[in-house]
Amino acid sequence: MRDEHQQLLKRLSARFGKACATYGLLADGDRVLIGLSGGKDSLLLTELMGRRAHIHRPRFSVEAVHVRMDNVSYETSTAYLQQFCDDLHIPLHVVTTRFQESASKPPCFPCSWQRRKQLFNLAQELGCNKIALGHHRDDILHTTLMNLIFQGRFGTMPARLRLHKMPLEIIRPLCLIDEADICRHATLAAYQPVSKACPYEHDTSRSDVASLWRQMEHMNPEARFSLWRALEHAGKLVEE
């Protein structure tokens, strides 16, 4: 099992490095703020970013922020996240906030927007020029399907997105990593799961699209590579 984990870590690191090189995600002098939710994806992102920050080129600094919503029953051990970041020599910031609830609208959008707002604000306060998010390849492909089905447009969450209203870029260094590999690494590395999952996480269109995606891959195991190539050819993975 140890050999399996070492091979998996090697593959994860290689895909992380390839994503950074292919899409120009990191450069000398970058100050990067990681959105650390405490889930397996953001934990892996933090782990890989922390390790890469100790390599000589490119030279960049990294910090992490964990945003808590006091009106959503979603809990992660702050002590665990603090120790996780301490082991990687990454400063951790914990921000507690809330969003305006509505009886007529699902909470996911205002919750997500409030989290992003806190990320944007803290990044600028700390002098960071990039925010790193833990979306992996499956997230990006599922978003592509959602945009096609519900909005009638071909687009997705890009690997690199330059914001025009503030001096920030959003980067997604896990964009070439598959969720299955992250799940396996989380098990082998004994990541501590969240204490309470978000009560709304399975009651969304995204979970329906994930089910549809599994059917597509059953029909064509190469579907993820075909759709990824289409995104690349259309220039949807980098937005300046």
The arithmetic mean of pLDDT across residues 73-85, rounded, is: 86
**In sequence order, what are the residues at sequence separation of 6 or more whose Cβ sits closer than 8 angstroms to the Cβ of residue 70?**
96, 97, 98
Give the CATH number of domain 2-239; options: 3.30.930.10, 3.40.50.620, 3.40.50.300, 1.10.150.130. Answer: 3.40.50.620
pLDDT reported for residue 196: 57
pLDDT reported for residue 167: 95
Q: Which two tokens stand for residue 46?
A: 């933090």
Per-residue pLDDT tens for 213-237? 999 999 999 999 999 999 999 999 9
Q: Which two tokens stand for residue 202?
A: 């399975």
Domain ranges for the chain, please list them. 2-239
Dist CA 128 CA 126 (whole Å): 6
pLDDT reported for residue 151: 94
What is the distance of C-alpha 193 from the center of its chain?
16
Dist CA 73 CA 237 (whole Å): 33
- Tell me whether residue 15 is exposed, middle or buried, using C-beta atoms within 10 angstroms of its C-beta: 0 to 12, 13 to 18, 19 or more: buried
Per-residue pLDDT tens for 100-151? 777 666 677 777 888 899 999 999 999 999 999 999 999 999 999 999 999 9
Residue 212: what residue type?
L
> Contact 137/216 with Cβ under 8 angstroms?
no
pLDDT reported for residue 231: 98
The pTM of the whole model exceeds 0.75:
yes
Say which residue, 203 or 175, is predicted with more confidence: 175
Backbone angles phi and psi of 83, in degrees to 5: -65, -40
pLDDT reported for residue 73: 64
